[in-house]
Chain A
Amino acid sequence: MIRLAFTNFIRSGGVRIGLVFLLTVGITALLVGKQFSQRQQQSLSDVLAFQQSDFSRQAAIHHDDMGLLLYYLKFSVINQTRPLTGLSIGQRDVNAAVQSVTIRALEGQKYDADLTNPANLLLGNVDFSFVLIYLFPLLIIAFTYSIISDEKENGTWSMVAVQSQHLFCFVGQLFAIRLAVLLAVLLIISGLAISVLDIPLDSAFMLFLATSVGYMLFWFSVCFWVTSLQRSSSTNAMLLLGIWLALLIVLPAALNNYLMARYPVPEAQATTLAQRKGYHEKWDMDKTATVEKFYAHYPQFRQIPAVAMPTDWRWYYAMQQLGDDESAVQAGELKQKLQQREASSRAIARFIPTLHTQLQLSELARSGLGNQLRFLEYTTRFHEKMRLYFYPKIFANAAVSAENWSSFRVDTFADSTPIGPVTVLGPLVIFISLFAGLGWYRFRQTIYQL
């Protein structure tokens, strides 16, 4: 019986077209992910090449002035791209994976935008997560919306009902066949992904896969429930498409509008303005007062005796430092605002499985806002490290040649925030049980209605 049902399913014309379509788009998505990884690699080698040629060039020109040299040098830090990132590109195409900063005031450099074509961003990536989140449900709907209603409309349901001893099991089998076929497609794409993107079989990937399967099961449970309502094929189609529309287009977009209006970020502008003023106005203020404020922040530099140099770099970098110090309040507010956005969107997403899946997949692939905020945080620490390393050398006007400029590596940020499986899978499991339970309950009442 189950073999017949399977052949019957797979032989229907639309099914094979749908499966081929899904596989094609899935493989395309892997190529898109591959290209994304390659571009990240490219910008990594671009930044290495630039740093190597630029550092030695600048060091040669400004060989006798450490302070002036450090005015120009840009140190780079990279937000590590994992192979998994190619599966869920998330916000990585918006936010730059490379930060290049001088040791001057940071706040004016930290938020520098990447070069992007907004038309690409607007229409979005065709990555694996897009295929999973948008297209798989459509196929699930297409394969199941008329699973019983079609038989009823063709007048064959009463024969099926009379002939099978466990009608409920039969319906279950019909669903199981479709689930198995689509799971196979998912596994084929994932298997290819492992080799195309060189994904290590670590716990992050396993959780990624489990989330994908959970997401599919969620949609199957929804379809199961809708089938249990025993409506006509057209009604089922409209109802399921309506659910798809609500979960993938309307609710997320509405939530996005809400978050934007609820948490506007004028703090961003406030920070840059405060930073500019904080630094520039010091040119017209008392030098000693500025340097004293600097010592208040970094008492350790008071001990370094002043040396004669063409420019008073201690004062200059003190001014720069105060640009950051005096915009710290605004910068803190900005950070807090962004964390609020992140926290509330995650909280709300728990109730909308599509959103939850997208956010968790990008979290696992390290391509969400959380990762970006941690990268900015790391950039701040990196910048501080560079400052503290070079301040004493500048103040003592150390010899430029004493530093090995060609060995300056590009720093890498590897995001290793732990991700618990319960947070990721919990909401999905709850929704799956809810809809499967509702469907089962309803079927018990309606299954023998002919």
Chain B
Amino acid sequence: MALRIEKLIARQVWVTAFTNRAFLWLSLGIGLLLTYAAVTGWVTVRQQNATGRTYQQQARQDWLSNPDKHPHRMAHYGHFAFRPKAPLSVFDFGMESFLGNTIYLEAHKQNSVNFSEAGFSTGLLRFGEISLAMVLQLLLPLLLFFLGFGTIASDRETGTLKLLLSQGVSWRQLLAGKTLGLMAVMLTLYGPVMLATSALWFRLLEGTIGADQTIRLLLLLGAHFLYLSFFCVIAVLVSARSQTAKTALVSLIGLWLMLTLVLPRASQALGSYLYPAPSKVKFLADIQTDVLKEGDSHNPSDPHYKGLKDSLLMAYQVDSVQKLPFNYSGFVMAEGEKISAHLYNDHFQGLLAIYDQQNRFSKAMAFVDPYLAIRNLSMALSGTDFASYVDFQQQAEQYRYEMAQTMNDLQIRFISNRKPGPTDKPYQIDRKYWQKLPEFTYQPMAVGGVFRHEFIPLLAFVFWVGLLLVVAWRLTKTLKAV
């Protein structure tokens, strides 16, 4: 009963929207785009995951079907890791297209993750992609602005506002009613998206629904609801502040362009301008320099490895490495792998720190621009952000390291320490050992990681809820009827 007036006003917004032909056409267009986004998202996720699975299995088969051989040959044979797409990437493509999906894992060498969609793109990609998230984050706010620019400004122009206020309707009731009306219209579009996303998500998980994935989905849907509500509030507030509907429209369009087009690019450009990252050549050369400083296992006269040799000879009381009770060159390679992997990880962390600095501006901008807040949060929840990718890269590197060290270990234990003569059969071990190396399976990052990485956008959401309430409350005190 208490909300009767708000309901009436909301109902009026709703009816106006649904009797507006332009709005109906636009909604139809948005609906078609959402369907298109869902279908292409679904097809791409299925396609890429099927490709990844096929080749992951084939790579494993290839590995297992190797005959008896020297373990170091197997370390060079190596393995592949294919990055699967997360189930919610059907909703938000995020950075997917700019991230590689195939990495070759071999001894001594950290390869790049190759074959990103962007590398094979014509430049069309730079215009963006249509995903459910993109439509919700970019296009729906504009539709809400189109719908909301006149909510109060038109009433002011026609004089209805004066009538309403003189009949005892308060500003609080008016703002709340108009906002609720807009939100109701928003929900008629967003509701089906929630259902569709949940259905696609359910299908992609194939019945194995865990708490982690459920939390992600619910947070994602909740965050987008809040985000879209912000725009309803902003539309009504701007409309309430504008003298004419046209001013309100132009202001809202300007705001939309600022929030979605200018600020995101500008803040990212500033970050990458101020914190230049090293070129790939430089990055690799620096690692090599450090490795050489520590010790070059391929250089017979390297001091580090000479020291290692001397201490081994001393400990085992022998005068040559051939007399050691284990395979010496396997031991040297294990040491080399340890050093180079360690240094690589150090440099990689350094690189990630630079990228973090580059991204700092656009992250902090979340407090100015809700679009940036939702974008980062949504990617993280969908598992299509950089952190999820780095997580994959690190798991792949961990696997690579263990693979190389397992093979080194087999060499240390089972390969004779004497150099084979020219007529000897090459040294090798039984192929049964190849099975001992477990298959690579990517473990998706737990949702807790999202809270850690996306702390700022989450905080920004809280901030935005507070800010809009405060602004609305203040406006109820200061707004004028004319």
Contacts and interface: CB of A to CB of B under 8 A. Distances in A.
Contacts of A126: 265-266, 269
B245 A234 contact: yes
B261 A277 contact: no
A368 interface: yes
B279 A115 contact: yes
A272 B124 contact: no
Given A119-B386, A130-B265, A273 B130 contact: no
B73 A115 contact: no
A260 B123 contact: no
Given A94-B98, A245-B142, A276-B77, A233 B130 contact: no
A167 interface: no
A76 B249 CA distance: 55
Contacts of A342: 122
Contacts of B257: 138
Interface stretch (A155-163, A168-176, A248-256): A248-256
Interface in B282-313: 282-283, 285, 288, 296, 298-299
Contacts of B82: 269
20 contacts: A42-B282, A54-B285, A100-B281, A111-B119, A112-B112, A115-B278, A118-B95, A119-B358, A119-B362, A123-B264, A124-B126, A249-B127, A249-B138, A250-B139, A253-B129, A253-B130, A255-B124, A261-B47, A265-B115, A341-B121
B55 A233 contact: no
Interface in A102-129: 108, 111-126
B281 A252 contact: no
Interface residues of B, number: 96
Contact of B281 (A43, A134, A153, A362): A43
B298 A61 contact: yes
Interface in B1-39: 22, 33, 36-37
B40 interface: yes
B187 interface: no
B331 interface: no
Contacts, number: 250
A238 B130 contact: no
Given A115-B351, A257-B37, 20 more contacts: A43-B282, A49-B285, A61-B298, A76-B281, A98-B279, A112-B112, A112-B114, A115-B283, A249-B128, A250-B33, A253-B127, A253-B130, A256-B128, A258-B40, A264-B51, A268-B114, A269-B80, A273-B58, A280-B77, A369-B121
B24 to A, nearest CB: 14
B120 A268 contact: yes
B243 interface: no
A54 B77 CA distance: 26
Nearest to A50: B285
A300 to B, nearest CB: 29
Interface stretch (B61-69, B228-236, B434-442, B457-465): B61-69
User: Which 8 pairs show the lowest CB-CB distances between chains A and B?
Assistant: A252-B127, A43-B279, A257-B40, A123-B268, A118-B98, A113-B112, A345-B122, A117-B355
Contacts of B113: 113
Contacts of A276: 62, 77-78, 104
Interface string B238-270: 000000011001100100010001101110110
A257 B358 contact: no
Nearest to A100: B281
| Chain B CB within 10 Å, residue with most, of A61, A111, A257, A358 | A257
Contacts of B245: 234
Nearest to B68: A284
A120 B272 contact: yes
B118 A273 contact: no
Nearest to A268: B115
Contacts of B69: 283-284
Given A91-B121, A241-B253, A121 B98 contact: yes
B389 to A, nearest CB: 7
A61 B299 contact: yes
If over half of A's interface residues share one DSSP class (helix, strand or loop), that class is named, otherwise mixed; here it is helix
A115 B298 CA distance: 27
Given A123-B268, A234-B245, A355-B127, A264 B55 contact: no
B378 interface: no
Contacts of B119: 94-95, 111, 113, 372
A225 B231 CA distance: 32
A400 interface: no
B482 interface: no
Contacts of A245: 139, 142
B268 A119 contact: yes
B222 interface: no
B121 A117 contact: no
B408 interface: no
A234 B242 CA distance: 14
A51 B237 CA distance: 62
Nearest to A38: B276
Given A91-B121, A113-B113, A341-B122, A108 B261 contact: no
Interface string B345-364: 00000010011001100100
A355 B279 contact: no
Interface string A24-61: 01001001100100010011001101100010000001
A35 B389 CA distance: 27
A270 interface: yes
Contacts of A362: 123
Contacts of B134: 253
A237 B253 contact: yes
Given A252-B124, A257-B40, A273-B80, A122 B98 contact: yes
A126 to B, nearest CB: 4
A91 B123 contact: yes
B359 A117 contact: yes
Contact of B59 (A254, A273, A355): A273
Nearest to B249: A234
A426 interface: no
B312 to A, nearest CB: 23
B116 interface: yes
